[in-house]
Structure 1
Amino acid sequence: MAQTTNVYIWDMDETLILLKSLLNGTYAEAFSGSKDVEKGIELGKTWEKYILQICDESFFYEQIENYNNPFLDALSQYDDGRDLSDYNFDHDGFNTPNDDVNKRKLAYRLRVIAQKYKQGLSGVFDHETMVLWNALYDMTDEYTDRWLSSAQSCLKECSVGKEDSTSLAASDRGSGVIRPTDTQHINVLVTSGSLIPSLVKCLLFQLDSLITHENVYSSWEVGKLKCFQWIKERFNKPNIRFCVIGDGWEECHAAQIMQWPFVKIDLRPGNSHRFPGLTVRTVGYYFNVVYGSPDAENDEE
C-alpha cells in the first residue's frame, strides 16, 4: 500500500495567529460591539513590542533585517561549519552580504537562529520571562475566544491526521507500539512577513513544536507562488497532496495556479472557516475534492 503524504501550507497572520486584526481593531469590530476594541489593540501592541524586542536582542535582527532570506537554509552552502561557541558576532566586521566572506558571516547568524528555534524560548530565556509571555498568550486566547489554542490544536491534528491518531489509539492502546500509518502529514508555513520576525512569532505563539524551522518560508521578496513551487520541488514524490490554508488573495491565487485546494479563513464569528471552527476533517474534505479519497484508491488496489 503506497503511503500518501498530505502537506498543509499555512499562512500565519490572521490564520494561525491574530495580530494585524488586533492592532487595527478589525477583529473586535466583527463582533458588532461585544468585544472591547481598545483591549484588542493593547494586546496587539504588547505582542508587537515583544516580537521586536526578541528579534533585536536575540535573533540578530538589527544586523540582518535588510537581508531577508526566504528560509533559514538559503545560505547554507556558505557555512563552513565553524564552531561558533566563542565567535564574536558584534565585532566580526559583518557588512552587506555581496561577497562570499559576508555571506558566510550571515550564514553563521542564520545557523544560530535555527539552533535557538530548536531550543525554544524556554531554552533561551529565564522562567520569569516565560511566565510573562505565557500570561499574555492566555489573555489573548481568552479575548479571541480560543483562536490561538484552537489553531494550535488543529495543527496538532494535522500533524498526525485525525483518523490516524484515532485508529492508533484503538488498535495499539496500552501496547506501547507505534505502527506506521498510511498517511504522512507535514505542516509548512508560508508567510508574507519577513523571516526572522515570523520565526519569533512561531516561538511566542507556541507553534515551534508543530512547525520546524526548515518548514518556515518568507514570501516577503519572492512571492507566495515561488515559495509554493519550492515546496512542491522539495516534497516531490508519488502520492503527494498539497492544501493551502490562509486568508489572503495572494495565497489563493498562487494555490489556483498550482491547482491545489485552498481553504479561506474568515474572521467573522459563527463561520466554520476560522478558529475555533476549522478542523482537520474539513481540510481533508478540500484535499479529497481535488485529489480524490486515498481510501477509495486503496480499496481499488
Structure 2
Amino acid sequence: MHGKEVAPGVALGEQMMTFLLAMLEKHFFFSDLHDTDVDHIAHVAANDCSVSGQEPTIQERYERIREIYERRGHVDFLHDTNSEWFAIRGALVAAIDNFSTGWLHEARQVLELTAEPVNSRTGPAQSETCPNDTKIEEEVENVNVLVTNTQLVPALCKCLIYQLDAFFPIDCVYSSAKIHKYRCFERIMEKYKAPDVEFVAIGDGLEEEQVSLALGLEFHKIRSLVDLKRLRYDLQLVQVNSNNSTSNAAVVDPPAVAAAPMSVASSSVGQTAVV
C-alpha cells in the first residue's frame, strides 16, 4: 500500500473484518470451533470429543463447512444474488481491489496460470506407424496449496469471500496457526513427494522464506505489486514456451518495470505453496 492514505485502507480492513466475523458466526460455527481449530480438514476426527446424539459433533460441523466450501451447500453471501450479504461481499472485494491498485486481480491471474496444466515435451516418436511410440508431449499437472497463519475456518471463509476456492480445493488448505509452518511444508512435501515432483513456494513473509530455504525449496518473495506482476509475466513466458508458441509471445504484456529473469519450475505435479 505504498503511497496510499492509511485511513481509507484501515477503514476497508475493518469493514472486511466485520463482514468476515458475521459470516463466521452465521455459517461457519466459529464460536463452537474457535478453540478446537485444526491445521487441516482431514485432521478433524481425531479432535472430535463431542457426545454423539446430543448435539452436532465437531466433525459434522466441519462436514457442513466442506459442503459450503465445495459449493454444495447454499449460503446467502455466495449464492443469493438478491441477498444484502451477497451485495456487501461484492462491494467490499471490489473496493479493496481498487484501493490496492488491482492486487487481487493480479493475484488471481497468477493463480490461474499456476493452476493450468502445461505441456512438457518428452521427445519425438520413434515411428509414425508404431502404436507404442513415445508421446511427443504430455500434460504436466500443477497443484496449488495454501499455507496460512490464519486459523483454518477463517481461512476457508476468506477464500470463499475472495472466490479463491477455485484455485485452492479444501484439501489443499493448511493452517499453521497452531503448528509451525515448517511442519505444514513437511506434510505437503510428504503428501506429494515423487521422483518427478518439484516444489515452488511463493510468499511475502520471513517465516516461509526461511522454511523454504531449510527444506531446499525454490522461493519467490512477493514484496509488492511489482513482484506479483513480475511473477505473472514469468509464468506467462513459461506457458508460452511450454506450448512452443513463439508466434504468440508478443501478446504477453511485460511488467511496467525492468525485471531480472526468474525461473519457474514445472513438473508432473508442480507444488505451489502460497502464503
Shift of 1:250: 1.1
Give the aligned residue type for 1:252: E
In the superposition, relative to structure 1, how do residues 208 and 40 fare at CA in structure 2: closer, same or farther (>3 Å)? Answer: same
Partner of 1:155: 111
Quote the Cα distance in structure 1 between the aligned partners of 2:58 and 2:230: 41
Shift of 1:279: 1.1
Partner of 2:190: 233
**Mind listing any 5+ residue stretches in structure 2 that lack a counterpart?**
121-136, 239-261, 268-275
In the superposition, relative to structure 1, how do residues 99 and 110 fare at CA in structure 2: closer, same or farther (>3 Å)? Answer: closer
In the superposition, relative to structure 1, how do residues 221 and 36 fare at CA in structure 2: closer, same or farther (>3 Å)? Answer: same
Give the aligned residue type for 2:9: G
Partner of 1:114: 66
Partner of 1:21: none
1:209 aligns with 2:178: no
Quote the Cα distance in structure 2 between the aligned partners of 1:100 and 1:230: 30
Give the aligned residue type for 1:105: T
1:47 aligns with 2:16: yes
Partner of 1:65: 34
Shift of 1:77: 6.5
Q: Per-residue CA shift, 1:79-104, capped at 9, x if unaligned? A: xxxxxxxxxxxxxxxxxx557859x9
Quote the Cα distance in structure 2 between the aligned partners of 1:150 and 1:287: 17
Shift of 1:238: 2.4
CA contact (8 A) 1:241 1:287 kept: no
SS at match of 2:231: coil
* Cα RMSD after superposing both structures: 2.9
Give identity over the alignment, percent.
Answer: 26
Q: How does 1:188-267 map to 2 (within 5 A)?
A: 188-267=145-224
Query: 4+ residue runs of structure 1 moved beyond 6 angstroms?
Result: none
SS at match of 1:66: helix
Quote the Cα distance in structure 1 between the aligned partners of 2:50 and 2:158: 30
Give the aligned residue type for 2:32: Q
Give the aligned residue type for 1:157: L
Quote the Cα distance in structure 1 between the aligned partners of 2:165 and 2:105: 13
Greater relative contact order: 1 or 2 (C-alpha under 8 angstroms, separation 6 or more)? 1
Number of residue-to-residue matches in the alignment: 222
1:124 aligns with 2:72: no
CA contact (8 A) 1:157 1:280 kept: no
1:56 aligns with 2:62: no
CA contact (8 A) 1:245 1:264 kept: yes
Shift of 1:106: 1.2
SS at match of 1:119: coil
Quote the Cα distance in structure 2 between the aligned partners of 1:278 and 1:240: 20
In the superposition, relative to structure 1, how do residues 186 and 77 fare at CA in structure 2: closer, same or farther (>3 Å)? Answer: same
CA contact (8 A) 2:235 2:264 kept: no
Partner of 1:82: none
Shift of 1:75: 2.4
Q: Per-residue CA shift, 1:180-222, capped at 9, x if unaligned? A: 8431111100001111110011011110111100000000111
- TM-score calculated relative to the size of structure 2: 0.72
Quote the Cα distance in structure 2 between the aligned partners of 1:190 and 1:151: 15
**Mind listing any 5+ residue stretches in structure 1 that lack a counterpart?**
1-26, 79-96, 166-179, 295-301
Quote the Cα distance in structure 2 between the aligned partners of 1:239 and 1:198: 30
**Alignment equivalent of 2:43, drawn from 63, 66, 74:** 74
